[in-house]
Each structure stands twice: as structure tokens, then as C-alpha cells.
Amino acid sequence: MNYLRPVSACNETASDLAGEIVAALSAASIVFKEDTGYSIKLIQSAEKLFEVATKNDTGHHQGTYTAVEDCGGEARTYYNSSGFQDELIWGGTWLFFATGNTSYLGYATGNFNAAEGEETASEQGVFYWNNKLTANAVLLARLRYFHDLGYPYEVGLGSSSKKIDLLICSYLSHKIYNRTPGGLILLRPDHGEPLQFAATASFLGKLYSDYLELLRRSGVSCSSEFFSVEMLREFSISQVNYILGDNPMKMSYMVGFGNKYPTHVHHRAASIPWDDQHYSCPEGDRWLYSKDPNPNILYGAMVAGPDKFDNFLDDRDKPWFTEPTIASNAGLVAALIALHDPPPYKSSDSNSNNLGIDLTGIFENLQLVPPAT
């Protein structure tokens, strides 16, 4: 198809985008640590961008990318950003892991409450493209549990671990979040497209259950309720199993997986035949409303999912059922990796098995570099 794909130019007001980029560059520097030159380049770029994004003086104004027409105006309808503090502390946390510079950790813990203040009621406990707070709390809890820095970070890190304990209880208690009759958790029941939120909940739940087992904790207590590590893992497995076909529709919501999956996916490249012809957007409507199955199978794509009653319509012109997105698929990939459970191996600093989690790798750069004076 031929249509314009304009590029938007964003200034320092796009604090949320900057925070996301800083986090990505920082995490990538850890992944590519064996390529020293490339890793250093990633860190340097992340630090420069973080410095610009966190300035809040007369010449710099923090904000969201969709608040500026020339930057995110086109995206506002579909990806409207509700805040930026969570992305900035997300970037600061990953930059701390990448460099060991405690000023970045200080920023993350010092601004955690501000990020919580930005979190809307409908997004509490949800990890997705617009909210990194919950995932950031899991990351900080990992730091507290396995590489405790003590004063002056204990208060900030402690609040993160308490937040995660409460989150895990909310996943399992059935008192805060409802579920479909088939067992899918509804973290944002008024939003639709529930699979993306269930996938990230599965990921965080499995990751945290691994932390608890490594700490030799039997589970999580909240008020009068107790939930075991096994219950948390069963929850994580159940959500992914639902996505892959263990649901009332007996349908895999991952395209190309299993015997029954969506065949009318709301996706241009999947629904338009590959015939060496170029089509305009209006010309593409003939396939949008066609009742024929997609000519191209979009292997691995997770669609939006069913409604709150487990009903699903495999219609291309109903994107609230059949549209896949890169953002939602990312959560599913994370959950599948977390649930893979490779064979346990011996940690380099312990005689105990560690469930396939590298306890020390993420902390290798934490030489606790003090802030510049």
C-alpha cells in the first residue's frame, strides 16, 4: 500500500519517550556487554538523553509527547500518554543498572511517589506501554532482595517491594480484579483488548514467584490472606494457557499456533494479497470488509482477545477482537520466556540452584559510583 508515513520531530517536552529510550539503551548496554565499544556508546547516549529529559529549569519543560501537536498529535487517538514520571524513573532505574551511578537510583527512588501520583485509577497494577510503574517496582524489589544497598535507599526500595506484594495479592484474591467465566483476569475491564494486560501480569507474577523461591519465602501475605508461590505460578501459567487455547472458545489467540486460531486478523499485510501491486488506503477497504480468510498468516501475533464473557468474533473489521500490536506481543513474549523455566544451574556465588535466573549478571555494573560533585 502507498500512503504517507510522516516523521514527527519532538523536543525535550517528550519526557515519556525520552525515558523509554533511555531504558531501552541502558538495558541493551547490559545485553551487549561483551561488545565493549558498542555497550559504552549505548550508555553514553542514554546518559546524554537522560540529562536533557530530567532538566526542569527555565529552558526545559517536561511533559508527554502527545501533549505537543507536532510531536504526538497523530498518535493521540490511539496511544495517548497520560504521564511521564513513570517512564523517567524506568529510564533512571535501568541507567543505574547499566552504570552503577547512584544518582540515577536516587532519581528513581526519589521520584517514585510522584510517578504513583500520576497513575490513574484504571491503570493501577497494569504493566503496558503507558504504565511502567508496576514493572519498575518489580525491578527495584529485585535490587532490594538480592543486592540491598541500605541507607539512604531502603525507604524507596522498601515501598517498591510492598507495592509488589499488594499487586500479587490483587492478582490472586479475586477481590479487586474480576475474571471472565473462563478465568482470564480483567485488569482493565472497561478498556477491552484484555490479553495484553493478562500477558504482562503473567510475566510479572512468574518473575516475582522466582524471586520468592530464591528468598526461600513460601508466599505472600496481605491482610488475612496468604498466597503461596505455587498459587502465583499457577496463575501465571493459567493466563498464558488461556491465550494459547485453554478457554471456552477453544481458540488459540496466537495466530498460527494450534489447530484453531483467528484467520481474519486486522492487519494490512496479512489481509492484502501479495501480488506485486500497490494499493491506496481506500482500495484496501475491499479486503478489510472481505469475509475471506487472510491470504497471509501472521505467525506469532497475539490478537486483542475476547470480551469479558469469553466471546470472540473473528472479524477483520472488528479490531477490538482481532487487532494485534507490537506492544501487546512484547508482553506475551516476556511471559513465555519467564514460564520456559530452563534447568536450574549453580550460581557463581552460591551452592544453591537458582531456577535459571542469573542472580548476579544484572548487578555486574553496580560498583556504586557516587554522584558527581
Does residue 152 have a cis peptide bond before it, meaning omega lies within 30 degrees of 0?
A: yes
User: Considering Cα of 157, then 141, then 128, then 38, what sign does the dihedral take?
Assistant: positive
- d(Cα 42, Cα 32) in Å, to the nearest integer? 9
pLDDT tens digits, residue range 11-45?
A: 768 999 999 999 999 999 999 999 999 999 999 99
How confident is the model at residue 371, as a pLDDT?
A: 55
Domain locations in the chain as residue ranges: 10-103, 119-243, 244-324
Q: Is the peptide bond before 194 cis (omega within 30 degrees of 0)?
A: no
Q: Which amino acid is at 300?
A: G
Q: Where in the sequence numbering do the catalytic residues fall?
A: 266
Q: Is residue 4 a contact partner of residue 73, using CB atoms and an 8 Å limit? A: no
pLDDT at 276 over 60: yes
Express each pLDDT in 47-66 by its tens digit.
999 999 998 776 778 899 99
Contact between 298 and 324 under an 8 Å Cβ cutoff? The reply is yes
User: Is a pLDDT exceeding 90 seen at residue 162?
Assistant: no
Dmax over CA atoms of the chain, in Å, equals 66
> Is residue 115 within 8 Å of 70, Cβ to Cβ?
no
Counting residues of the chain whose pLDDT is more than 70, the rounded percentage is 91
Radius of gyration from C-alpha coordinates of the chain: 22
The model's pLDDT over 280-292, given as tens digits with 9 standing for 90+, comes to 878 888 999 999 9
Q: How confident is the model at residue 108 (pLDDT cuts 50, 70, 90)?
A: very high
Q: Computed from CA positions of residues 306, 308, 310, 314, in that sequence, does the dihedral angle turn out positive or negative?
A: negative
| Contacts of residue 355, Cβ cutoff 8 Å, sequence gap at least 6 | 210, 213, 214, 341, 344
Q: Check residue 176 and report its DSSP letter.
A: S
3-state SS assignment for residue 346: strand
